[in-house]
Structure 1
């Protein structure tokens, strides 16, 4: 049964957005992206680079262009390209992108995929030991206010569902959400609308009464294609909003959003 009246109002400056539910991206939206995926990316890229060097090859371009990682002059990983594969690509897309590095060095495609899958597993295993998760600043108070207002919430992520559940469990955020939709549950991932539409169906809400919060333009495009009420982008770096051209609103931190129950 679809809800007939809005559950709550999200207030941003002078704007009021009536909604029945909120959909959240995971990485870079709920959890600090570099804290979680920076270590994994470095582990994975180092394994691939060593594999290539053993065979007299190197990356087809600069290391930072392989996945969209950013380094300082000393070679230390300091950030990522929000338009790059590390931020937007699904898990299968990432495997394909990295497998191409091996294929271009003469490794048969099936072997390349097998090697990359194993390297990724090893990097994930390292992550399992350290559990490097950190909720974004001011997120938990906002989630508490959403729960107090009885707003149904779901996570829509390019990650696999099982991985998303695990990461939110590590962070203590799992119980805020009644839906967890990973890319393995749909035929087309972001920026296609499938994840958002499936989440709305699971929450029994209309897309046009649902708000999305995400950190990439693929999130915003997904929300627009799904016909959501509002697509809110989050970009913690002041003035850095150029990568979110399809966002209705861009915030720098969650303290900018207020929640008011309408029931």
Structure 2
């Protein structure tokens, strides 16, 4: 068995990885459906179901439209499911909604503590999300991690969308690393596929979002309960590769 790669950077997904999905996005998804329904209350649960969220329980399926899609993809899905709005207008409305909601996100842990610890190890840190870039930056600022983050990309940043490798490739170029030196951390298959497509050194799946062991285990090198365990895992990997890992 080959030794684990030396990890010098970590690229995080946002929703379900840094912030708790159901608590943060449940109310937002309902508001998105309300906007898309344009006054037709009976259409709202139909749109939520089409997006992958159970209107009754509020649970969202792994890898569904609402779990992994960006604003434009969600708008297209809602229009296909019956929204009377056009895709371009609905996309703008959803982007504005997601930006407003960013500062009310519920973090999965003490994010400044986690990020400061990883940064102190000399790691480059980035966030790549299917949300819009302004919303990601607002979340980073409101949660107190903006100063620790070297790179932020959303679906509208010009690097492509998940599961294509563009955002990870851009992160690597921005911080001067090779993809094999980077770990991708996410809660959905889109994140894992992006890591694989870019040639990431490792994929870490976390269980704080919509993904499950069943959906993540085939694609992740390691599955963790949450991001607070990454530091310990990096120490274990460094011990298996003495003198080479910068973690």
With structure 1 as the length reference, what TM-score do the two structures score? 0.77
Q: How many residues align?
A: 232
Question: Which residue of structure 1 aligns with residue 68 of structure 2?
Answer: 88
Q: Which runs of 5+ in 1 are unaligned?
A: 1-14
Question: Which residue of structure 1 aligns with residue 77 of structure 2?
Answer: 97
Question: Which residue of structure 2 aligns with residue 38 of structure 1?
Answer: 26
Question: Does the 8 A contact of 1:223 with 1:231 survive in 2?
Answer: yes
Question: Which residue of structure 2 aligns with residue 204 of structure 1?
Answer: 176
Question: Which residue of structure 2 aligns with residue 7 of structure 1?
Answer: none
In structure 1, distance between residues paired with 2:4 and 2:111: 20
Deviations 1:209-262 (A, max 9, x none): 11111111100000001001000000148x931121311111112343324485
In structure 1, distance between residues paired with 2:16 and 2:95: 22
Given the superposition, is the C-alpha separation of residues 162 and 125 from structure 1 closer, same or farther in structure 2, using an over 3 Å criterion? closer
Deviations 1:136-161 (A, max 9, x none): 13644332221111111111111111
Deviation at 1:124, TM superposition (A): 4.4
Deviations 1:167-222 (A, max 9, x none): 11121121110111112123531111111111111111001111111111100000
Question: Does the 8 A contact of 1:102 with 1:112 survive in 2?
Answer: no
Question: Does the 8 A contact of 2:108 with 2:208 survive in 1?
Answer: no
Question: Does the 8 A contact of 1:24 with 1:154 survive in 2?
Answer: yes
In structure 2, distance between residues paired with 1:124 and 1:218: 20
Quote the RMSD (CA, aligned, Å): 2.8
- Secondary structure at 2:18's aligned position in 1? coil
